[in-house]
Structure 1
Amino acid sequence: MPMSKWICYAVGYVFIVTGIVKLLFDDFQTTFANLGIPSSTTVLLLVALAEIVCGALIAGGFYVKEATVPLIIIMIAAIILTKLPYLTGQGFFQFLYMARLDIVMLILLLLLFTHVRGRKFR
């Protein structure tokens, strides 16, 4: 099986599960509200739905390039809003540790965006 399919399955799985968890657990409402995001409940719902839908598209191999764009934006925002504060508060290595999954997912999304061709992977 091509490596791109494995990457699609892994990336899709992570975002589908993350989106579902954001919808099921109230902790994320508090987290989003503490970030100072206006209409945090609405933004949380939109982010969770985008993660589920785009994750499912990627896992299914449909519109992979298009589905990666919103997730790239979400990952960059997550790093800036939730991980970057570690640089000033706890240092560089704590930032690297806390951002490790976000950075790996961002790299995988960029790989999918640049290397998967067509509407459906082969």
Structure 2
Amino acid sequence: MNMSFSPMNLIRYVVGYVFIISGLMLLVSPELHSVFMKLPVPTPLYVMYLVAILEIVCGALLLANKEVKIATIPLLIIMTGAILFTKVPVLHNGFLDFAFSARLDIAMLVLLVILYKSNHNYR
């Protein structure tokens, strides 16, 4: 893999890395399993495995600079769901608690939008 360190490539590398590690952790971490089991989604175990696989596959596509625009779509949905299901409930503690809790999710969401809006390969 030809590693170029342009700003857009760095965004792809960082976002891909974050999602690959997140997906792997979903598969091996009992703590994350229990968090998922408490989410108000149908069949949370299957949803967790689907999210993990999508994060790993889409993260790998970002790292490989393949189908970047398509790979960002499921990740945008996952990040939106993460904010809605795990961060919005924190709003009852106040906006500042929500803003602090959601800061990294929002940053990832913005980086995904940047990748989605870019229409060229980053090599």
Smaller-chain TM-score range?
Answer: over 0.9
Q: How far off is 1:27 after superposition?
A: 1.6
Q: How far off is 1:58 after superposition?
A: 0.4
Cα deviations by residue, 1:5-48 (Å, 9 ceiling, x for unpaired)? 00000000000000000101122221111112211111000000
Separation in 2, partners of 1:17, 1:116: 26
Cα deviations by residue, 1:37-91 (Å, 9 ceiling, x for unpaired)? 2111110000000000000100111110000000000000000000001112x10
Is the CA contact 1:29–1:40 (under 8 Å) kept in the aligned structure 2?
no
Give the equivalent residue in structure 1 for 2:110: 107
| Structure 1 gaps, min length 5 | none
Give the equivalent residue in structure 1 for 2:83: 79
Structure 1 consecutive aligned stretches of length 4 or more whose deviation exceeds 2 Å: none
Separation in 2, partners of 1:80, 1:36: 11
Separation in 2, partners of 1:60, 1:24: 24
TM-score normalised per structure 1: 0.93
Q: How far off is 1:121 after superposition?
A: 2.9
In the alignment, which of 35, 43, 53 is matched to residue 39 of structure 1? 43
Task: Give the aligned residue type for 1:101.
Answer: L
Give the equivalent residue in structure 2 for 1:2: 6
Is the CA contact 1:32–1:44 (under 8 Å) kept in the aligned structure 2?
yes
Number of residue equivalences: 119
Question: Over the residues paired in the alignment, what is the CA RMSD in angstroms?
Answer: 1.0
Separation in 1, partners of 2:111, 2:100: 18
Separation in 1, partners of 2:119, 2:111: 11
